[in-house]
């Protein structure tokens, strides 16, 4: 158990810049999930923490000690690989005992610790098997066991669930979370799967093109994404984005699609006519006519059972996805939809989130009551 700190990590392969200065402070026992599309540099960052790659610039500090120049073997970390990377010629027992043997632990203690860890993971009866005799889920557990048994300062997970089938993935996800909580080991978990990220992480690092776009708890990221990339990446189906401009006074946004929506949280900075991007999650859009409603021309309905995904186009030509549980219109029909002001996310033309500068009466009134 230890803290981890990354300071200004940069990485270039020749002229290709992969990481552009990543800073991160991880508290003891915290589970940080690094999430991003493939090629965003998340695996490279993890490998730099592991010592498998060297950072071009920046420092890696584990438990207060600068390990930037140390070999992986001297960092006291454990890693679970996407393809498990079990030693194919060794039995499960030997796979798990490998690191302990290198540390020169007494045989009896190695046996006890491996047995204990194997029982914890429910693979106690597989110790004599070779990796090729195991199923995917069992291999995954052995890989976890090999990491756990060493009692390292830091766990690193490199997309460990990607090779499992969907059902097993959900099960292992829950298991990893339970284990991590129980053992309380500081962990970094890399994934491209946002559901995995949301469910596993105490905090998420959303990466995009070598930058950490936002570092926050899953709910913070979901509620207040820092920019349109994060907003579009977290949440499924992805958030809708609509072009708009600020109306005078900054109290409302005039959508290109037609309606003008007053902001629920107050005045936003910027001049009249400043271009905005308004985001709204599919599940927040409601059906209903009336003032401020938009006609959505439905072109595809995907029934998911409990709810349906409705894809369509607005008069401006912009596409909109709506998730509804009580309504499934026919393709080709027109569905009037309302965008509730409280659910709007406002971004500037570059995609950065804009917060309201002045709270509206509601907040002021609450303050008055408090006083």
The binding site for another protein (CB under 8 A) comprises: 50-52, 71-73, 75, 77-79, 81-83, 85-89, 98-99, 102-103, 130, 132, 146, 150
Q: Residue 74: how many CB atoms within 10 A of its CB?
A: 10
Cβ nearer to another protein, comparing 85 with 356: 85
- In whole angstroms, the minimum distance from the beta carbon of 149 to another protein comes to 10
> What stretches of the chain show up as alpha helix (H) in DSSP?
42-50, 92-102, 107-121, 136-148, 166-183, 194-200, 218-223, 228-233, 361-370
Angle between helix 92-102 and 107-121 (nearest 10): 130
User: 81 with 190: CB under 8 angstroms?
Assistant: no
**DSSP letters for 114-141:** HHHHHHHHT-GGGTTS-GGGS-HHHHHH
Q: Return phi, psi of residue 259, to 5°.
A: -70, 160
Per-residue buried b or exposed e for 326-362, using 16+ beta carbons within 10 Å of the residue's own CB: eeebeeeeebebbbeeeebbbbbeebebbebeeeeee
Cβ nearer to another protein, comparing 97 with 216: 97
Cβ nearer to another protein, comparing 2 with 242: 2
Cβ nearer to another protein, comparing 91 with 293: 91
- In whole angstroms, the minimum distance from the beta carbon of 187 to another protein comes to 14
Determine the 3-state secondary structure of 29 from DSSP.
coil
Cα atoms in the 13 Å half-sphere on the side-chain side of 292: 13
- In whole angstroms, the minimum distance from the beta carbon of 102 to another protein comes to 4
- In whole angstroms, the minimum distance from the beta carbon of 59 to another protein comes to 20
User: 143 with 87: CB under 8 angstroms?
Assistant: no
What is the Cα 189 distance to its own chain's centre? 9
User: 30 with 40: CB under 8 angstroms?
Assistant: no
Distance between CA atoms of residues 227 and 346, nearest Å: 9
- In whole angstroms, the minimum distance from the beta carbon of 353 to another protein comes to 38
Smallest Cα–Cα separation from 42: which of 139, 162, 148, 165? 162
Cβ nearer to another protein, comparing 106 with 370: 106
- In whole angstroms, the minimum distance from the beta carbon of 79 to another protein comes to 5
- In whole angstroms, the minimum distance from the beta carbon of 168 to another protein comes to 20
- In whole angstroms, the minimum distance from the beta carbon of 56 to another protein comes to 17
- In whole angstroms, the minimum distance from the beta carbon of 72 to another protein comes to 5
Cβ nearer to another protein, comparing 94 with 209: 94
Place of tokens 């926050």: 216
- In whole angstroms, the minimum distance from the beta carbon of 78 to another protein comes to 6
Distance between CA atoms of residues 56 and 63, nearest Å: 22
Smallest Cα–Cα separation from 152: which of 123, 125, 117? 117
């Amino acid at each position: 158990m230890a803290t981890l700190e990354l300071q200004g990590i940069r990485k270039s392969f020749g002229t290709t810049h992969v990481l552009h200065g990543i800073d991160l402070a991880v508290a003891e026992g915290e589970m940080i999930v690094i999430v991003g599309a493939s090629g965003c540099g998340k695996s490279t960052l993890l490998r730099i923490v592991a010592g498998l790659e060297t950072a071009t610039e920046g420092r890696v500090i584990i438990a207060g000690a600068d390990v930037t120049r140390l070999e992986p073997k001297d960092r006291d970390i454990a890693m679970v690989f996407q393809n498990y990377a079990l030693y194919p010629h060794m039995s499960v027992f030997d796979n798990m005992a490998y690191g302990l043997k290198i540390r020169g632990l007494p045989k009896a203690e190695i046996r006890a610790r491996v047995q204990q860890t194997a029982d914890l993971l429910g693979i106690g009866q597989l110790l004599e098997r070779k990796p090729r005799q195991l199923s995917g889920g069992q291999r995954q557990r052995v890989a976890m066991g090999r990491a756990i048994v060493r009692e390292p300062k830091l766990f690193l997970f490199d997309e460990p669930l990607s090779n499992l089938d969907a059902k097993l993935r959900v099960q292992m996800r829950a298991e990893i979370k339970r284990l991590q909580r129980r053992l309380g080991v500081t962990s970094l978990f890399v994934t491209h799967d946002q559901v995995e990220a949301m469910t596993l992480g105490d905090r998420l690092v959303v990466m995009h093109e070598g930058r950490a776009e936002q570092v926050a708890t899953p709910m913070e990221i979901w509620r207040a994404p820092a920019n349109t990339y994060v907003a579009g990446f977290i949440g499924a189906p992805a958030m809708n984005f609509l072009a708009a401009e600020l109306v005078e006074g900054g109290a409302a946004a005039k959508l290109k699609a037609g309606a003008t929506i007053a902001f629920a949280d107050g005045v936003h900075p910027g001049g009249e006519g400043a271009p905005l991007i308004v985001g709204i999650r599919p599940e927040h859009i409601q059906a209903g006519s009336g003032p401020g409603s938009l006609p959505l021309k439905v072109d595809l309905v995907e029934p998911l059972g409990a709810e349906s995904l409705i894809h369509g186009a607005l008069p401006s030509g912009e596409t909109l996805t709506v998730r509804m549980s009580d309504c499934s219109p026919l393709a080709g029909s027109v569905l009037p939809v309302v965008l509730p002001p409280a659910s709007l996310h406002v971004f500037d033309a570059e995609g950065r989130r804009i917060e309201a500068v002045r709270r509206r009466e509601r907040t002021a009134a609450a303050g008055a009551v408090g006083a």
